[in-house]
Structure 1
Amino acid sequence: MATERRTRGAAARGSAWKELLGSYLLHHRKTARDSAERLWRAPVASLMTWLVMGIALALPVGLLLLLTSLQGVSAGWESTARVTVYLDQSATTDDLSRLRAEVASRPDVTDVTVITKDEALKEFRASSGLADALDYLDENPLPHTLLLTPDESIRNQIGMQKLMVALEDLKDVARVQVDLGWLQRLNTITDLLGRGVWALGLLLAAAVILVIGNTIRLAIENRRDEILVAKLVGGTDAFVRRPFLYTGIWYGLGGGIVAFILLQLTLWWMSGPVQRLASLYRSEFELSGLSWDGTLGLLTVSVLLGWMGAWLAVKRHLEVIEPNQIEARGTAG
């Protein structure tokens, strides 16, 4: 009998918890639906709020996408960065072979390409259009050349400087040219712009929170009497707060969708001119849009900003609304 009573008691407690959880979730669904319906009943005001959020979110995200595209292109250029080693004019092919073997054995060099003076002159003759003038030369003025591909671990200012100094000390080396300096300056500029975009994004995120907070504040003032009645009959702060938090979530979700639409339209509008400009410079640069993960991240951030703005507004303004205000109004009447 005791075992049976314990079994029935456990079943009753489990059923009560399920009923309580079901009621809790049902209230959340109803509150979320009612909050969405309130926004749809005021389409102009809701659309204006969504547009403000969408523009504020699309601006930093669009700039980040542009910087990501630039960094991707510069990474491709950096992967093909070369160090050019010019030999003395008096260096022979034996000196060239010896120097090539010596350079190729270095751990900070991954590849070495040899260009003899005859090959260099042939290429220059074909590309310069000065073939007739070159025929008057008594000897080849171009030196033997080595093209080095440095290891990725040293593709920075300090590592390339050390490699350059080491190569200049080698015998029969006349000059070492590193074409990575301009790329480092480009990376520095993009890093600086990236920090500026993040700062702008934080400022605009704060602006979004303020916009949502002000909108929720107006909604609280419009429903002040409803809130007073709910508290008077025993409604908790969490119960009263819930509709406004869902309103903030819907505002955030709508703002994220508007930002995504604005980004896609801007990308479509600019892709043609960007491709034509890139083709003129024989570049593979192209604007990259949001991936699925990026889109999900944008919507998540926008929802969180909407919820945060609503939570701050509710926390600040809901606590001052108490049922004793009804008594005060009645006494004043």
Structure 2
Amino acid sequence: MTDTRAVNQRTKPSANPPERSRSAGAVTARTGVGDRFSSWTNHHREMWRESWARFFASPMSSGMTALVIAIALALPAALQLGLTNFQKAVAGWDGQPQISVFLHKRARENAVQSFADDLRGDPLVAGVTYISPEQALAEFQQSSGLGDALLGMDSNPLPAVLLVRPRGSDTTSLEALATRLRDSAMTDSVVLDMAWVQRLAQLTELGQRMSMGLALLLALGVLLVVVNSIRLHIENRRDEILVVKLVGATDAFVRRPFLYTGLVYGLVGGLIAWLLVSGGVWLLAGPISGLANLYGSGFRLDGPGFTYLVGLAGGAALLGLTGAWLAVARHISAIQPR
């Protein structure tokens, strides 16, 4: 009995058991900033790869969407490239206004040369070309076809001419320079030839504005295409979104794959647009070069280089990302588990 009591005494739980250092069960772990950043970057990397995988998983529908984006972007890009080549083509002509100074017939050669040297030193003048009466007569005979008739004249009726190229194209400065030349005792007449330059500048500005307006309209079209495509993606994955939200996923976590999908659509569309513009330039380069050779010009059509590639791909990717954001901002928040 004594032994039994002793055993019971030893096995009987104490009223005040000793306190354990840590209780058994679930333990809440805290994640550091580095772990959160690593998880965030890993998820972005995973969504980037998954977006490409989903793009190539349905090549027909994805390719059609990217092609629509490419055509919408290729049109304003081709127009802008055409304007750039047009400006390059007319750069061979003197793009600056020109002032033709007709000198008096009685002006002496040394006085004309001194007057031309003074004009070359003027800060408003970029250059001066002297055309003697003999040179003017020879050019007129060649261009007019009246060489035989002019040979019978007793004297040369054409005066010496100074072709003055202004340094700037400001209308006020040009008018002031022309007025100062008219007041000179050496000049008989002064003609400011800038009408065609103004017409060319107006046409170029009109083309640029048309290109900008077309680009804005087609960019809006790209946004609508991406919004509609991402909306269909969201509806197809509605059940998956509900399950992920049930386990505690945030809206930012849910929208991330769709944002990358829109980015991929835009990026591929921009690359295809660059290829379309490059193909168009390749088709037109030969005929345009042949036409330029007929006019004695060395003009060559410039294609879309690396700058166009970066601009089209980056701009299209930004449009795709923006369209995807607009789509998910409206539809993701409406999908809530009940």
Per the TM superposition, whether the score is higher than 0.5 is yes
Alignment pair present for 1:27 and 2:49? no
Cα distance change, pair 24–37 in 1 and its aligned pair in 2 (3 A)? same
Please name the residue that 2:149 is paired with: 133
* Whole-angstrom CA distance in 2 between matches of 1:236 and 1:213: 21
* Bigger fraction of residues in helix: 1
Alignment pair present for 1:92 and 2:108? yes
Matched letter for residue 189 of structure 1: L
Please name the residue that 1:314 is paired with: 328
Contact 1:74/1:187, CA 8 A, preserved across alignment: no
Q: Shift of the alpha carbon at 1:76? A: 4.8
Matched letter for residue 196 of structure 1: M
Larger Rg, first or second structure (1 or 2): 2
Q: Structure 1: which 5+ runs fail to align? A: 1-12, 325-333
Alignment pair present for 1:143 and 2:193? no
* Whole-angstrom CA distance in 1 between matches of 2:195 and 2:330: 54
* Whole-angstrom CA distance in 1 between matches of 2:71 and 2:299: 25
* Whole-angstrom CA distance in 2 between matches of 1:126 and 1:228: 85
Please name the residue that 1:170 is paired with: 184
Which residue of 272, 280, 303 corresponds with 1:258?
Answer: 272
* Whole-angstrom CA distance in 2 between matches of 1:262 and 1:199: 21
Contact 1:62/1:263, CA 8 A, preserved across alignment: yes
Which residue of 276, 280, 294 corresponds with 2:308?
Answer: 294
* Whole-angstrom CA distance in 2 between matches of 1:282 and 1:303: 43
Matched letter for residue 42 of structure 1: S
Please name the residue that 1:121 is paired with: 137
Cα distance change, pair 235–105 in 1 and its aligned pair in 2 (3 A)? closer
Aligned positions of 1:1-333 closer than 5 A: 16-78=32-94, 81-125=97-141, 129-151=145-167, 154-324=168-338
Calculate the TM-score normalised by the size of structure 2. 0.84
**Higher alpha-carbon deviation: 281-290 or 291-300:** 281-290
Deviations 1:142-198 (A, max 9, x none): 1111122211xx323332222222212211422223333202211111112211211
Matched letter for residue 327 of structure 2: A
* Whole-angstrom CA distance in 2 between matches of 1:102 and 1:17: 74
Matched letter for residue 212 of structure 1: V
Cα distance change, pair 283–157 in 1 and its aligned pair in 2 (3 A)? farther
Q: Structure 2: which 5+ runs fail to align? A: 1-29
Contact 2:80/2:211, CA 8 A, preserved across alignment: yes
* Whole-angstrom CA distance in 1 between matches of 2:73 and 2:165: 41
Matched letter for residue 22 of structure 1: S
* Whole-angstrom CA distance in 2 between matches of 1:297 and 1:25: 26
Matched letter for residue 320 of structure 1: A
Instruction: Report sequence identity in percent.
Output: 45
Contact 2:102/2:188, CA 8 A, preserved across alignment: yes
Please name the residue that 1:5 is paired with: none
**Higher alpha-carbon deviation: 96-105 or 163-172:** 96-105
Q: Shift of the alpha carbon at 1:309? A: 0.4
Q: Secondary structure at the match of 1:85?
A: strand
**Higher alpha-carbon deviation: 228-237 or 89-98:** 89-98
Contact 1:57/1:256, CA 8 A, preserved across alignment: yes
Matched letter for residue 67 of structure 1: L
Contact 1:248/1:307, CA 8 A, preserved across alignment: yes
User: How big is the alpha-carbon RMSD for the aligned residues of Structure 1 and Structure 2?
Assistant: 2.4
Contact 2:100/2:163, CA 8 A, preserved across alignment: yes
* Whole-angstrom CA distance in 1 between matches of 2:51 and 2:306: 28
